[in-house]
């Protein structure tokens, strides 16, 4: 009990220390925020009213973002099926699933925007680097989810099929897959939602989609047009979430 | 008389435990009979059945099933696995699949690998599956999902899956422990009857002496991992059964009581 209390103090001290350190070293001058009042008002004023003439760009950008998310998710699913199997303790030996899980953790640790920048460098501007980046980044999470879905099923039917003479892949197909299918559907839809949200900003680094227009309009001080694109993004995110909530309900 | 299973001087300790689950067991299971494995919980019944099914590694002694020796270090060849069918205590069915699918799963070991992977049964497979369903009295449930069935119905599906495997030896682990007495009688009658009709050997475990008497021609008593008796059913006397279920006494030499 005494040890716990000590742990509590230590944690509080650590958090307080981290906050003080952040204020002390970063160039955070709160006075700048105070004096910036009129400038912020001016900035907001220039965003209103949003310019509706950019509808064509919004449509084009949204469609491209949607395509990046769909194809990126497809790529992630294709990569995650074998990697998910190789990361599952039900299907492979420890010597296989441990390194594969570590690899997946590394993939997850690389932010999407960083992957996208590297891919733009590798294959050039446009939606292709975006698709590759989303597929790569999403695999880190999706393959882990698939492995957990495999390991989460009831073991008894697997043993029963093994006793009946079924091999590992046949057991995966007929004992594991029917049990995990709804989990896989839910996880994939969830990851698609994340992919769509995350790919909205990919255009900022030149990897295609609606983010390109946000960046273009902000850089050229056309804040009213940037505002329209922002509204479109918000509407898209809300729509995706509504659709996904409805879809996920079907799989519970 | 041919022999379904021959066990000589078999001992086995579950990994991570000290007490042997089976100790110096020797048995002969004659082919074509229905045999009951009788004993209290923890006697080693499940372990012995799983071992005969080729699922345990690291035992000592000699065991041969259906004329072929088992290897203590590796699983039996896959082609031989369908010859011994197993009915699991908790059914071990794929809950979200249909009854027919589950019964066809019993055919997977008999199919060529690609056909098994695709799960496309031949007319012959379907015929066997439907016959097994009919034998188990659940022909009308073929299209139902297992998670919509009662416990008794599930046990029938589990037995039908085992029969679809066309086993020559049927191993059943407490097949009726979760059922009420009337259902238990029906299920054991079904299991032993189906085995007899197919010329197969049935070895089922139970902790209920009356059920063992009714449905087995031979009864093997097991307690603390050792065979206590092995007799034709008519020769089983009350004293032997009572002794099988007596209160646990202090274990010699350990100074411990198994039940405290």
Query: Which of the four pLDDT bands, split at 50, 70 and 90, describes residue B152?
Result: confident
Most A-contacting residue of B70, B92, B110 (CB-CB within 10 A), to test interface: B92
Residues in CB range of A178: below 8 A, 6 or more apart: B94, B96, B97, B101
Distances (CA, A) of A162 to B5, B11, B77: 20, 24, 11
pLDDT at A162: 92
Say what the pLDDT of residue B255 is.
45
Asked whether the beta carbons of residue B86 and residue A162 sit closer than 8 angstroms, the reply is no
Q: Name the residue among B92, B109, B117 with its Cβ closest to that of A165.
A: B109
pLDDT score at B183: 86
Shortest Cα distance, chain A CAs vs residue B15, angstroms: 18
Strand ranges (E), chain A = none
Residue B2 — very low, low, confident or very high, per pLDDT cuts 50/70/90?
confident
Q: What does the pLDDT read at residue A5?
A: 62
Q: What is the dihedral of CA B117, B99, B182, B230, to 10 degrees?
A: -10
C-beta atoms of B96 and A178 within 8 A = yes
- Residues of chain A falling short of pLDDT 50: 1
pLDDT of residue B258: 47
Please answer yes or no on whether A170 and B108 come within 8 Å at the CB atom. Answer: yes
| Residues of chain A found within 8 Å of residue B82, distances taken between Cβ atoms | 164-165
Question: And the tokens for B219?
Answer: 């009864």
Per domain, the residue ranges of chain B are: 3-244
How long a stretch of residues is chain B?
Answer: 260
Give me the pLDDT at residue A152, please: 93
pLDDT of residue A188: 93
Bridge partner residues of B3 (DSSP): B30
pLDDT of residue B236: 86
**What secondary structure does DSSP assign to B16-38, as a single string?**
T-SS-SEEEEEEEEETT-EEEEE
Strand partners, B52: none
At B169 the pLDDT is 95
For B222-257, write each residue's pLDDT tens digit: 999 999 999 999 888 888 888 888 876 545 544 444
Q: Which residues of B touch A178 (CB under 8 A)?
A: 94, 96-97, 101
Domain regions of chain A by residue span: 56-250
If you average pLDDT over residues B42-60, what whole number do you get? 92
Give contacts of B110 with chain A, Cβ < 8 Å.
165
Chain A residue with the nearest C-alpha to that of B161: A164
Query: Among partner residues B93, B95, B116, which is closest to A170 by beta-carbon distance?
Result: B116
Please tell me the distance from the alpha carbon of residue A214 to that of residue A202, in angstroms, as a whole number. Answer: 11
What does pLDDT average to over chain B? 89
Q: B136 pLDDT exceeds 60?
A: yes
Class of the domain covering A56-250 = mainly alpha
CA B245 → CA A184, B43, B181, distances in Å? 48, 10, 20
Percentage of chain A modeled with pLDDT above 90: 50
What pLDDT is stored for residue B257 in this prediction? 47
For the residues B204-223, what does the mean pLDDT come to? 91
How many angstroms separate the CA atoms of A64 and A251, rounded?
28
Q: Does A174 contact B55 at a Cβ distance shorter than 8 Å?
A: no
For position A252, what pLDDT does the model report?
61
Return d(Cα A54, Cα A40) in angstroms, integer: 24
Instruction: State whether residue A38 sits within 8 Å of chain B by CB.
Output: no
- Nearest C-alpha of chain B: how many angstroms from A161? 7
3-state helix, strand, coil in chain B (%, to 5): 35, 25, 40
Task: Return the H-helix or E-strand segment holding B126.
Answer: helix B123-135
Q: Which of A154, A163, A181 sits opposite B86 (nearest CB)?
A: A163
B79, B84, B108 ranked by CB distance to A174: nearest:
B108
Which residue of chain B has the CA closest to A179?
B96
Kindly report, residue by residue over B83-130, the tens digit of the pLDDT. 999 999 889 999 999 999 999 999 999 999 899 999 889 999 999 999
Contact assignment for B105 to A175 by CB distance below 8 Å:
yes
Is residue A72 within 8 Å of A133, Cβ to Cβ?
yes
Which of these CATH numbers, 2.60.40.1080, 3.40.50.300, 3.40.640.10, 3.20.20.60, describes B3-244?
3.40.50.300
Cα A210 to Cα A200: distance, rounded to the nearest angstrom: 6
Q: Please tell me the predicted confidence (pLDDT) of residue B1.
A: 56
Q: In this predicted model, what pLDDT tens digit does every residue of A147-177 receive, in sequence order?
A: 999 999 999 999 999 999 999 999 999 999 9
């Amino acid at each position: 009990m005494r040890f716990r209390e000590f742990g509590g103090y230590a944690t509080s001290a650590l958090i307080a220390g981290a906050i003080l350190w952040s204020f002390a070293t970063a160039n955070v001058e709160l006075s700048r925020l105070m004096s910036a009042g009129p400038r912020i008002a001016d900035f907001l004023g220039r965003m209103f009213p949003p310019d509706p003439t950019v509808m064509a760009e919004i449509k084009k950008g949204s469609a491209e973002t949607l395509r990046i998310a769909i194809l990126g998710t497809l790529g992630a699913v294709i990569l995650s099926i074998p990697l998910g199997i190789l990361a599952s303790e039900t299907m492979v030996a420890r010597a296989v699933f441990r390194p594969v899980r570590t690899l997946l953790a590394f993939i997850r640790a690389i932010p999407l925007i960083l992957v996208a920048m590297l891919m733009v460098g590798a294959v050039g501007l446009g939606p292709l680097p975006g698709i590759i980046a989303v597929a790569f980044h999403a695999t880190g999470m999706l393959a882990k989810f698939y492995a957990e879905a495999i390991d989460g099923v009831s073991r008894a039917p697997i043993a029963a099929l093994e006793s009946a003479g079924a091999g590992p892949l046949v057991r995966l197909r007929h004992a594991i897959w029917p049990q995990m299918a709804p989990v896989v559907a839910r996880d994939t839809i969830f990851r698609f939602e994340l992919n769509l949200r995350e790919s909205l900003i990919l255009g900022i680094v030149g990897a295609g989609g609606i983010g390109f227009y946000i960046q273009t309009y902000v850089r050229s001080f056309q804040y009213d047009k940037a505002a329209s694109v922002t509204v479109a993004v918000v509407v898209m995110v809300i729509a995706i979430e509504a659709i996904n909530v409805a879809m996920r309900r079907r799989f519970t | 008389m041919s022999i379904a299973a021959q066990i000589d001087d078999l001992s086995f300790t579950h990994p991570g435990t000290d007490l042997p689950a089976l100790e110096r067991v020797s048995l002969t299971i004659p082919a074509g009979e229905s045999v009951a494995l009788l004993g209290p919980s923890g006697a080693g019944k499940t372990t012995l059945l799983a071992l005969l099914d080729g699922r345990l590694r690291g035992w000592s002694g000699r065991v041969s099933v259906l004329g072929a020796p088992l290897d203590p270090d590796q699983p039996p060849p896959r082609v031989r696995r369908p010859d011994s069918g197993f009915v699991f205590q908790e059914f071990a069915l794929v809950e979200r699949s249909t009854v027919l699918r589950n019964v066809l799963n019993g055919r997977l070991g008999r199919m060529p690998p690609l056909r098994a992977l695709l799960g496309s049964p031949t007319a012959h497979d379907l015929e066997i599956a439907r016959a097994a369903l009919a034998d188990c009295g659940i022909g009308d449930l073929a299209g139902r999902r297992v998670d919509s069935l009662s416990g008794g119905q599930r046990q029938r599906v589990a037995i039908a899956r085992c029969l679809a495997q066309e086993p020559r030896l049927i191993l059943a682990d407490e097949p009726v422990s979760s059922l009420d007495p009337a259902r238990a009688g029906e299920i054991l009658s079904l299991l032993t009857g189906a085995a007899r009709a197919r010329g197969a050997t049935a070895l089922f475990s139970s902790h209920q002496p009356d059920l063992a008497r009714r449905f087995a021609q031979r009864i093997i008593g097991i307690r603390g991992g050792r065979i206590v008796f092995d007799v034709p059913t008519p020769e089983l006397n009350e004293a032997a059964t009572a002794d099988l279920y007596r209160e646990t006494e202090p274990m010699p030499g350990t100074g411990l009581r198994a039940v405290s």
